[in-house]
Amino acid sequence: MKPLKVALLGCGVVGSQVIRLMHEQAADLAARIGAPLELAGVAVRRLGRKRDVEVDPALLTTDAEALVTRDDVDIVIEVIGGIEPARSLIVAALSKGKSVVTANKALLAEDGATLHEAARQGNGDLYFEASVAGAIPLLRPLRESLAGDRVKRVLGIVNGTTNYILDKMDTTGASFTDALEEAQTLGYAEADPTADVEGFDAAAKAAILAGLAFHSRVTAADVHREGITEITATDVASAKAMGYVIKLLAICARSEDGRSFGVRVHPAMIPRSHPLAGVREAYNAVFVEAESAGQLMFYGKGAGGAPTASAVLGDLVAVARNRLAGTHGPEESTYADLAAHPMGDTVTRCHVALDVADKPGVLARVAELFAKHDVSIQTVRQEGHGDDAQLVIVTHRATDAALSATMEGLRELDIVRAVASVMRVEGDD
Ligand SMILES: NC(=O)c1ccc[n+]([C@@H]2O[C@H](COP(=O)([O-])OP(=O)(O)OC[C@H]3O[C@@H](n4cnc5c(N)ncnc54)[C@H](OP(=O)(O)O)[C@@H]3O)[C@@H](O)[C@H]2O)c1
């Protein structure tokens, strides 16, 4: 059989593992596809850089545009990352009728519409399994296996770096700064950890997941995002004392009337009995709740060269098979055209710790404020006495707007010395 020619854009952490696997598994891949794969070229930024894999120097180029538009190239794998030049290169490839496999969550969440439109016009495939949760097969199940069901909610841990940091804080009592430093030393966090610890990476993934789950167009701008930098060792200890653990969650949920959805990334307390509570270190896990299927859980390595390359290779086999069959996989599905509702409309619960004056009537005034905002209290507990007195309150479900207004009101009460911590509670409804 005539080989299918593959252009690889990027030969870093993921790209080098893609080359290794294409080489090591060449015979199996050819048998599974029905034709051999041949690497047509590898675009990089610096030709002389030392690589984690042996690459024929004749294949390396810095002219990515010429590579993706070459007539003999059938499939383009984009593992450069970032918005440009990745977007222009993918669009150029798709416009020339090539199929594209990408791991680029940032680009898909920023401007997926442009890529999908180019795929539609070029009649090619755009596959992106590796863009969310690395090795874990998650997008294909949402896009294909659950195509006959109605997804109600997707709730998950989709960023390994923050999970590693929060896990260390939980198990060792470390501060955020110390846990981050350890994660950096071990290679779980970048020197500039902003994208992870401020929730940008998870927000991009949440946008992709929500789009697939609700058959609507969702971008990173639709995602309410809060990171983990403000979480203290005291917050973690307080959660622990109540049987909870703090995780950075990505939550995509249909509204009760089904006419909109909420998509958010923020730290939240979840009960230790929840399956996501047991997700340790840098692992990822995603819980999908569908009307007929019920609850499904996907768990595994969410990043790393080889795990991510596994997902890229899975897509490569799929698009190669489609090309040989003269067909293509499912196009973007946005027919439902639902809109993301504002965070204020999201229904959630809250854990709040208040430093209060230890005197009669305090509890009544606090309770009165919650009632004024229509937020009912599930549990209340006093810890300490005198200047150390703290009220720890867990609410019932209420809109985020009502909860925020209650927190504002508490900050203004003269009997409240400080609102020591506020954390949403998820996963026990
Ligand atoms: N790393 C992971 O665990 C992981 C997991 C899931 C998804 N992803 C996604 O996979 C993609 C790649 O990530 P990575 O970690 O492999 O990145 P990386 O290690 O930084 O590698 C990027 C590669 O792209 C090349 N490159 C950069 N700008 C270029 C340009 N203008 N033209 C041609 N080549 C260019 C670089 O060339 P030089 O080598 O010459 O610098 C390098 O080989 C990103 O979208 C990322 O979000 C990564």
Helix boundaries (H) for 12-159: 13-24, 26-33, 64-68, 86-95, 105-122, 139-140
9 is in an annotated binding site: yes
Confidence (pLDDT) at 357:
87
Q: Is the C-beta atom of 309 inside 6 A of ligand 1?
A: no
Domain 4-134+305-325: give its CATH superfamily. NAD(P)-binding Rossmann-like Domain (3.40.50.720)
Average of pLDDT values for 270-295? Answer: 96
Under a CB-based contact definition with an 8 Å cutoff, are residues 102 and 116 in contact?
no
Q: What is the mean pLDDT of residues 188-215?
A: 98
| Res 216: pLDDT | 98
DSSP 3-state of 366: helix
What is the residue with the minimal CA distance to atom 20 of ligand 1?
A: 12
pLDDT at site 428: 78
Q: Tens digits of per-residue pLDDT, 35-46? A: 999 999 999 999
The answer to whether residue 276 scores a pLDDT higher than 90 is: yes
Span from the CA of 77 to the centroid of ligand 1 (angstroms): 11
| CA–centroid distance, residue 119 to ligand 1 (Å) | 22
pLDDT averaged over every residue in the chain? 96
The CATH code that applies to domain 139-302 is 3.30.360.10
Given this model, what pLDDT does residue 370 score? 97
**Does 148 carry a binding-site annotation?**
no
- pLDDT-derived band of residue 158, with 50, 70 and 90 as boundaries? very high
Between CA 265 and CA 274, with CA 270 as vertex, the angle to 5 degrees is 115
Catalytic residue among 205, 240, 247, 372, which? Answer: 205
Query: Residue 355: is its pLDDT beyond 80?
Result: yes
CA distance 167 to 161: 10
35 Cα to the center of ligand 1, angstroms:
28
Our mutation pick for probing the ligand 1 site, out of 14, 139, 308, counting the most ligand atoms within 8 A of Cβ, is 14
Per-residue pLDDT, 358: 84
Ligand 1 and 8: CB distance under 6 A = no
Cβ neighbors of 115 (< 8 A, separation 6 or more) are 87, 90, 91, 94, 100, 102, 107, 108, 126
Residues 411-417 have a mean pLDDT of: 94
Would residue 205 show up in a list of annotated catalytic residues for this protein?
A: yes
| Residue 44 Cα: closest atom of ligand 1 | 34
- Superfamily in which the 343-425 domain is placed by CATH: ACT domain (3.30.70.260)
- In the β-sheet with 60-61, what is the strand arrangement from edge to edge? 60-61, 37-43, 4-9, 75-78, 99-102, 126-127
**Residue boundaries of the structural domains of the chain:** 4-134+305-325, 139-302, 343-425
Q: Which atom of ligand 1 is nearest to the CA of 305?
A: 3
Q: Whose CA is nearest to atom 29 of ligand 1?
A: 45
308 DSSP assignment? H
- For residue 328, the CA-to-ligand 1 centroid distance in Å is 26
pTM over 0.95: yes
> Could you tell me what percentage of the chain is helix, strand and coil, using 3-state DSSP and rounding each to the nearest 5?
40, 25, 35
Task: Work out the average pLDDT over 13-38.
Answer: 98
Phi/psi for 329 (5° steps) reads -75, -175
